[in-house]
Amino acid sequence: MRLPLGEIFLVDDEEEIRIASSQTFELEGYAVRTFASAAEVLSHISPDWLGVVITDVKMPGMDGLELLAAVLKIAPDLPVVIQTGHGDVPMALAAMQAGAYDFIEKPVPPEYLIDVAKRALESRRLSLENQSLRARLGSEADIGSRIIGESPAATELRRTIGTLSLIDVDVLLIGETGVGKELAAHCLHDLGSRKAGKFVPLNCGAIPPNLVESELFGHERGAFTSASTRRIGKIEQAQGGTLFLDEIESMPLSVQVKVLRALQERTIERVGGDRLISVDFRVIAATKVNLRDAVTEGAFREDLFYRLNVARVPIPPLRERTGDVRLLLQWFLMKMADRFHAAPPAFDPDMARRLEAYDWPGNVRELRNVAQQLVLGLPLDLAEAPCCPGMPEPEAPSGVGLDARVRLYEKKLIEEALAKNGGSMTLTARELDIPRKRLYLRMQKFHIHK
């Protein structure tokens, strides 16, 4: 459940600015409180407060940078926006390095002030939702922390898997690439009576056809030219546990008949062997195609299909899980941030809407990759993402390598935007569509002065 919009605290010792800024926000429907001094604000800040602080720098007593430090001691993730009429690049960098969410110069265009506050509130709301999500999904033993989502499709999937995990029956999982079929198979195993046994996966599509039988059933020494030792196959490895056959539609017909016999009799015979071996195992198979069509086309055995199709579990694609994209993305962002020892990135509402509206042909796997790109600060690689319209082609100086050309072009764009906007950092960052912090760092890197 999404949190409410949030509240804005305006801190400025000039009454006219407080009145004007609060009216700007109130006209947009935001809840606003104004303060004439920094010291007045601190008693209203708490670790779970949903809001943003917008403060002037030059104030009597405690200044804006000191307020920033005090606020972040109470709530480290709380967005604090610094605004001043005396700003320069060193002061901006100092504020950013001290933890400010953003740094804007007076006079601030009203629409830009609204935009900054909107993004800051969204960042704060995401941060609080992440904290709540961590607490709610803290235990990975619970199915709700593994199959994440609040949509009817996700709820029904959890219910089905929870029920089937308690029944020792073979299961067929059906779903597009990337929907999480192996995760569902792990849940069926880990929540069931066979959790003490092994979970043994085999991707039938990743094994050369001539080796699938040996992989499944094992072989005796001397069974074929390269069989120098006995090999225990995947089915025997799954004794007392679960065998997961992914992309079962790729299994050769010659092997399908032997798998059918193994499922019916729970016995196998190693390649090159002459002894039947009893094996107690459960099979979970997965496919991304319609096996009925494969049967009709002669690519899959009808008897094996009916043997597997008893407990049939469709895994819904992400585009049918309305509302789950945001929750899953937050979870992946936290996981990737932990993995790479980075802070989960905040993205503006427009980006959130873009990701929620995206069709996700790669499903949950693609969403996970996007989370990794966001955490690493890489450009998003979405299957249907349009390229940047209207971007001019950079000049390519002769004798200069690609990296140097990119740096020259980036520097030229920044210099042109600064000149066009009269040196205004606010307007330049807005035109280039980058955070002001990135603009300051790029200017420092390229030795650009206002």
Tokens of 102: 């953003």
Rounded to the nearest 10 degrees, how much is the dihedral formed by the CA atoms of 142, 144, 145, 149?
Answer: 170
pLDDT score at 411: 84
Q: Assess contact for 371 and 336: CB atoms under 8 A.
A: yes
Cis-peptide into 4, omega within 30 deg: no
Beta bridge partners of 174: 287, 314
Task: Dump pLDDT digits (tens) for 165-178.
Answer: 999 999 999 999 99
Q: Under a CB-based contact definition with an 8 Å cutoff, are residues 171 and 188 in contact? A: yes
Domains of the chain (ranges; CATH) run: 7-136 (3.40.50.2300), 146-316 (3.40.50.300), 319-375 (1.10.8.60), 386-450 (1.10.10)
Residues (pLDDT < 70) of the chain are 1-5, 86-89, 133-142, 346-350, 383-404, 437, 450
Euclidean distance between CA atoms 318 and 367, whole angstroms: 9
Chain-centre distance of CA 379, in angstroms? 14
Closest to 7 measured CA to CA, from 27, 25, 19: 25
